[in-house]
Structure 1
Amino acid sequence: MGRPRTHDEALRRTLLRLAATVVCEGGVHALSLRRLASDAGTSTTAIYSLFGNKAGLVHGVFQDAAKRLSDHLAAVENTDDPAEDVVRLGLAYREYALANPQLYAIMFSDRFTELDLSTEQKDEAAETFEHLVAAIRRAQADGRFKPAPVEHVAISCWGMAHGLVSLELSESIPPGLDLAAGYEDALRSVVAGWLN
């Protein structure tokens, strides 16, 4: 009978979650492997076994954030109306960000610039954008959207969603303004502007 494996996927997920919180709140320089191991109830040996080193852990945090967002957007099933699918992707984007504020911040705040990502990792992050691009291409192919550069349509839709979500998460909203109530209307207004 072999010894139980202690450096498993559950520990990996715990370390990623705790590390994301530290990096989100204090930046990469605030991440101490010794402290992280203590908080996770494990050893630094486990961290090195799972991630190689601190840089591997930090890159793992970013990759985890990108994969989770991509998976969440991929779960939005296509309908017969690709223009409506663009709105649904915007709603899913907000849903993800509100449920995972630390992971969202890892990808889209100034913490991103501290990570010193490889080109491959940046490409992985950019793949999250492809879900929106694919829906826009379908909308154009179906004649629902105006024939315009896909990137222009995508950046306007994503910019609206990202801007409003970022305002909501940072609580940079004037008193009395219910951003959540107007979020879907704002998305629909942008999408309506591209309709044929």
Structure 2
Amino acid sequence: MPAHAQTSTAAVVTAGRRLLEEHGTDALTMRDVAAAVGVRPPSLYKRVRSRADLLRLILENVTDELTAVTDAAANSGNPTADLRSLLTAYRDFAHANPVAYALMNAPQAIPGATARSERSSATLLRLVTELAGPQHALPAARTIVAWASGFITMELAKAFRLGGDLEQAWNFGLNRVLNAIQCAND
């Protein structure tokens, strides 16, 4: 296969992310990514130093995309409605990108990965501060993220085995968590 003279880091990350979703983290190889962008494997190393570096770049890309999606969802000016929309967008993103979502929740598995949590959490923290007050903002944010992440992780793993409507369960839980957070400011 003749190698194209050029590719870009963005193209490598895009191809890596697509392959990650198709085959899983353990099956992601530099050889497959090189083939996907039309270069020979040695040429790929001009763009990324290693598989770990590629995973780090993919994680940064995923985090940036999720941040943009959740920030855009929180735009009504009503903190309760915006938090509900943000969490729904978070859940939708996880369903559309289940492998990347799992990778985001285990950044320690990628050498050199650092969470971009400050920027990615800014809108969530702002909304929770409005609802729970500044003294309760961090515990409230952790509570809602833990609940949503746990629900989504179980949902993606098909671990809810007792039947019932998962959408109804999501809304029930979300309503309860939002009510609890709002009560923290009373």
Name the structure 2 match of 1:82.
79
CA change 1:80–1:31 in 2 (3 A) is closer
Consecutive unaligned residues of structure 1, counting only runs of 5 or more, are: 140-144
CA change 1:32–1:147 in 2 (3 A) is closer
CA change 1:35–1:78 in 2 (3 A) is closer
1:107 to 100, 104, 109: 104
Name the structure 2 match of 1:17.
18
Shift of 1:105: 1.0
Name the structure 2 match of 1:130.
122
Shift of 1:180: 2.5
Consecutive unaligned residues of structure 2, counting only runs of 5 or more, are: none
Give the distance between the partners of 2:15 and 2:143, measured in 1 at CA. 36
Shift of 1:169: 0.5
Contact 1:16–1:60 under 8 Å retained in 2: no
The answer to whether 1:57 aligns with 2:54 is yes
Paired residue type of 2:95? L
Secondary structure of the corresponding residue to residue 45 of structure 2:
helix
Shift of 1:165: 0.5
Give the distance between the partners of 1:85 and 1:175, measured in 2 at CA. 31
Contact 1:164–1:179 under 8 Å retained in 2: no
Shift of 1:184: 2.0
CA change 1:38–1:10 in 2 (3 A) is closer
Contact 2:34–2:40 under 8 Å retained in 1: yes
Shift of 1:53: 3.0
Question: Identity percentage over the alignment?
Answer: 22
CA change 1:57–1:157 in 2 (3 A) is same
After TM superposition, list the pairs within 5 Å mapping 1:1-196 onto structure 2.
6-8=6-8, 9-19=10-20, 21-22=22-23, 24=25, 26=26, 30-109=27-106, 112-118=107-113, 121-122=114-115, 124-139=116-131, 145=132, 148-195=135-182, 196=186
Contact 1:137–1:150 under 8 Å retained in 2: yes
CA change 1:105–1:151 in 2 (3 A) is same
Secondary structure of the corresponding residue to residue 49 of structure 1:
coil
Deviation digits for residues 61-80 of structure 1 (CA, Å, limit 9, x no counterpart): 11112111111111113323
Number of residue-to-residue matches in the alignment: 179
Q: Give the TM-score of the pair, scaled to structure 2.
A: 0.81
Shift of 1:44: 1.5
